[in-house]
Amino acid sequence: MRFDPERAAIRFGCGLSARHAPPSDVAGMLTRLQGQDHAAEMFPIPGFAPIHASLDEVGQAVRKQRNGKTEAEREQGQEERRAAVRRIRITGAEWFRQSLLRRALGADGFRERLTQFWGDHFTAVGKGGPWQVAYLPYLEEAIRPHLSGRFADMLKAVIVHPMMLEYLDQKRSVGPNSVAALRNERLSGLNENLAREVMELHTLGAGGPYTQADVRQLAELLTGLNYDRVEGFRFRPAFAEPGAEQVLGRSYGGETPQLSAIMTAMEDLATHPATARHIARKLAVHFVSDQPDPDLIAAMAARFEATGGNLPEVYGVLLDHPASWHDGPGNVKQPIDFVGSSLRALDLVPRHVPSGFGKLRRVFLGPMTLMGQSWGAPLGPDGWPEADDAWITPQRMAARLQWGMTAPFTIRRLLPDPREFVETALGRTVPEPVRFAAASAETRAEAVGLVLASPAFQRM
């Protein structure tokens, strides 16, 4: 099998659209990806600046709540804290709406899918207060600018990002012999969390060629990576463990702690052959199949190694390989892909997509949770599951069906003719039972729901 435009839009993009023609070839997909980010311009999502501002507001309110001189002042602090969190959550909901609009209306579906893929690869979950809505700004700042660059550069952006430093406890990791620990014994804890996940999840992969000693050494090397609530990333030499560290047999750093030593180690981990295999496998599983062709993985890994992790080169192998174009059944869409591609098929204009925290929660975020995807908040740093059967359980299937039958009507009111909609959503290859169901349902809403619930639409 070879490149097919409709399959390209479904398997590597955000689905078919009445508005945008599907990609015409691999070169066009890669050129578009490396060109201007039109979707981000049309539907902007900010970087971390509003999160920093909100963290600052909340921090000041908490200080007032704790140290206020009078009860009234303390109560006011508490109210200010709540109000600040409420404000940022309302604002953050609109960012989620923007990300849906990018999927529904953007020309470059591949870019949106890659953003989701790498955001999941570098999972960081914001917990509590303004962090709860920090996921999309994190993607915008640390992930999206590096989609078509070198893998090493994305890794380096991620490990200095406040979102990751907070999520994997790096902020609290202090070298046992650091200046800070020697001054204050309570500050003596080394935290291995980020170091472990960098090797296990982000680079070499579980079962990769590293030992607990490497984890420990990398954790010592990473001490000093920290952030300021307002200013963002900060390297704190006082927290850093002095002396060189041995990671995978190579020595990094010297007596004086330096950020550059950490970056050298990241460069080496990012371009390691085990990393090449790990990333190649993950891409193949995510885009092509739960059981991908070993040859596809090998070819991508080889290009990764040969180019030092140049990502468009690796995507090129993925898109050129015959195994990537098998005629199904493809992977089951994750809820975000299902919802996004449904909106895309419904041919919306932006005003159709509801705005406001309550509506977004009711129409999208609540149902997606029921489908098994609490947006931006997977249970662990290993991110969302890839296996099809993790997503199609009775409850999750019911939630998809329920959403498909009700949400389009909530959003559009005037639903398309189901006999046409089935062609828009599925393209040339509409299975006969789906075409029949679309024409036979008792209402338009049910017909649209049946098309969206069909395996033909649910799979990529």
What is the contact surface with another protein in residues (CB under 8 A)? 71, 74-75, 78, 127-128, 168-169, 193, 196, 329, 332, 358, 361-363, 366-367, 369-370, 372, 374, 379-382, 388-389, 392-399, 401-403, 405-407, 409-410, 431, 433-434, 436-437, 439-443, 445-446, 449-450, 453-456, 458-459
**For another protein, which is the closer residue by CB, 179 or 370?**
370
What residues form DSSP beta bridges with 250?
Answer: 247
As measured in angstroms, the least distance from the Cβ of 26 to another protein is: 29
Under DSSP, the state recorded for 186 is: G
Q: Which of 158, 85, 74, 151 is nearest to 122 (CA)?
A: 158
Smallest distance, Å, CB 361 to another protein? Answer: 7
Round to whole Å and give the CA distance between 31 and 231: 35
Please list, in sequence order, all residues whose beta carbon lies within 8 angstroms of the beta carbon of residue 248, skipping any fewer than 6 positions away: 209, 210, 214, 268, 269, 272
In the complex with another protein, the residue whose CB is nearer, 117 or 384, is 384
Q: How far is the CB of 181 from another protein (least distance, A)?
A: 18
Measured from the CB atom, is 123 or 275 closer to another protein? 123
* Distance in Å, CB of 146 to another protein, minimum: 25
Say if residues 222 and 194 touch (Cβ distance below 8 Å). Answer: yes
- DSSP per position, 68-86: -SSHHHHHHHHHHHHHHHH
In sequence order, what DSSP letters do the residues of 385-447 get, joined into one string?
Answer: ---HHHH-SHHHHHHHHHHHHHHHHHHHSSPPPHHHHHHHHHTT---HHHHHHHHH-SSHHHH
CB of 130 to another protein, least distance (A): 14
Nearer to another protein, 294 or 431 (CB): 431
Instruction: List the alpha helices (DSSP H) in 271-373.
Output: 273-287, 294-306, 311-320, 335-345, 357-360, 366-370
Work out the number of other CB atoms within 10 angstroms of the CB of residue 313.
16
Peptide bond into 329 cis (omega under 30): yes
Q: Looking at beta carbons only, is 276 or 405 nearer to another protein?
A: 405
Residue 198 to residue 408: CA distance in whole angstroms = 41
Closer of 87 and 444 to another protein (Cβ): 444
Question: Which 8-state DSSP code applies to residue 150?
Answer: B
Rounded CA-CA distance 45/41 in Å is: 9
End-to-end CA gap in the chain? 15
Q: Taking the complex as a whole, how short is the minimal distance between the CB of residue 13 and another protein, in angstroms?
A: 22
Nearer to another protein among residue 87 and residue 359 (C-beta): 359
Q: Which is nearer to another protein, 112 or 214 (CB)?
A: 214
Tell me how far apart the alpha carbons of residues 158 and 156 are, in angstroms, rounded to a whole number: 5
Residue 52 · residue 230 · CB < 8 Å: yes
Minimum CB separation from another protein for residue 436, in Å? 7
Tell me the closest approach of the beta carbon of residue 99 to another protein, in angstroms.
21
Shortest distance (Å) from residue 427 CB to another protein: 16
Nearer to another protein, 38 or 172 (CB): 172
Encoded tokens for 350: 């932006």
